[in-house]
Structure 1
Amino acid sequence: MLTIGSNKNRWLLVEFVDMSTVDASAGKEPLSSRSLDGRLIYNALRDSVVSNFGDTGWGAVGMSLTVKYFSPTTNLCIIRVARDHHRIAWGAVTLLTGIHDIRVIPRVIHVSGTIKHAQLSAIAHNREVIARFRTKVKDAALRHDSYDDYLARSTREIEALQD
């Protein structure tokens, strides 16, 4: 049965690259140690949609836009938006330059039609990021304990997400 206004969604998997780690002269703490959360990301997305696509753009995506997951460790975010207007949200994400006075470069890693594919991509991306972190850590004990705990916890959180 076809319903008008069906709840088809798109899932954006976004990594926020912290500009303070790129620009060493900034003298700021890394993104992971500052207070960035889903609410701040949502507010920044709302502001980006309004400033770049106007009230009409916000009217199109506002009811369906949701930040479902954010990891301050890997700077990974899962965003849900209605399928019909996902390009507005994607554009707004791409045009972000900062979130709550934190300079970032958003990188859309994956766009999916199902939460399951977004979850699989997020888990794989977290593993890749943690593998890169591990290569930089000299102490083998630190490499396994904290990162293994993080991967297990983040995998549980991501798998628990519901549409």
Structure 2
Amino acid sequence: MVRFKNRWLLVEFLPCSPGTNATTYQPTAGNEMNSRQIWSALKQSVINNFGDIGWGAVSTSLTIKYYSPTTNVCIIRVARDQHQIAWGGVTFLSSIEGRKYIPNVIHVSGTIKQAQLAAIKHNREVVARYRSKAGTPATYQDSYETFLQTSTQEIEALQD
């Protein structure tokens, strides 16, 4: 029996500020995207940059397993042999549903467990960035604490 080998890409989409080249780290209401929009934009990016052959190679295994609109982090699963095409498609992605984003591939792993650990660690770093920007002390209880708990449970519940 042969099992399918996958690669897991942990990607952060940094939203661009309107009219500038700088990125913002604060989540903005009303500009939320979902995993279906990411998948569609990634599909179009692969087709534009690698053609129908590139999309044909990637299409059967490409899935968005997790997306957090608060931190703009997503976990993408793709077959091991075609992960470089998917990675290239993510890198060449510039906008999703007309909104500009800078994709940042944070981690690539061979198992979902390592992707989960990297996602949890990255979520904690992003929340620490939000808190430092807001000037709140580390012991302050805010909505991010519940977000960290729920996102950790969601990420840990992911199955291959």
TM-score when scaled to structure 2?
Answer: 0.90
Q: Deviation at 1:23? A: 2.4
Give the conservation status (yes or no) of the 8 Å contact 2:27–2:71: no
Distance in structure 2 (CA, Å) of the matches to 1:40 and 1:32: 17
Give the conservation status (yes or no) of the 8 Å contact 2:124–2:148: yes
Give the conservation status (yes or no) of the 8 Å contact 1:32–1:75: no
Q: Deviation at 1:35? A: 2.9
Question: Which amino acid is the alignment partner of residue 36 of structure 1?
Answer: M
Give the conservation status (yes or no) of the 8 Å contact 1:45–1:96: yes
What percent identity do the matched residue pairs reach? 59
Q: Give the secondary structure class of the aligned counterpart of 2:74.
A: strand
Structure 2 equivalent of residue 125 of structure 1: 122
Distance in structure 2 (CA, Å) of the matches to 1:94 and 1:136: 27
Structure 1 equivalent of residue 55 of structure 2: 58
Asked whether 1:79 is paired with 2:76, we answer yes
Give the conservation status (yes or no) of the 8 Å contact 1:31–1:102: no
Output the aligned Cα RMSD.
2.5
Structure 2 equivalent of residue 49 of structure 1: 46
Give the conservation status (yes or no) of the 8 Å contact 1:74–1:129: yes
Structure 2: give runs of 5+ residues left out of the alignment: none
Question: Which amino acid is the alignment partner of residue 8 of structure 2?
Answer: W
Where does 1:78-157 land on structure 2 (aligned, <5 Å)? 78-138=75-135, 143-157=140-154
Q: Give the secondary structure class of the aligned counterpart of 2:33.
A: coil
The C-alpha deviation readout for 1:18-65, integer Å capped at 9, x for no partner, is 11278289xxxx764213000000000000011100110011010100
Q: Deviation at 1:145? A: 2.3
Structure 1: give runs of 5+ residues left out of the alignment: none
Deviating 4+ runs (over 3 angstroms): 138-141
Q: Give the secondary structure class of the aligned counterpart of 1:20.
A: coil
Structure 2 equivalent of residue 36 of structure 1: 33
TM-score when scaled to structure 1?
Answer: 0.88
How many equivalent residue pairs? 158
Q: Which has the higher helix share?
A: 1
Select the residue among 8, 21, 37 that pairs with 2:5.
8
Taking structure 1 as reference, are residues 42 and 32 closer, same or farther at Cα in structure 2, changes over 3 Å only? farther
Give the conservation status (yes or no) of the 8 Å contact 2:15–2:101: yes
Structure 2 equivalent of residue 18 of structure 1: 15
The C-alpha deviation readout for 1:88-133, integer Å capped at 9, x for no partner, is 0000000000011110010000000000000000000000000011
Taking structure 1 as reference, are residues 93 and 119 closer, same or farther at Cα in structure 2, changes over 3 Å only? same
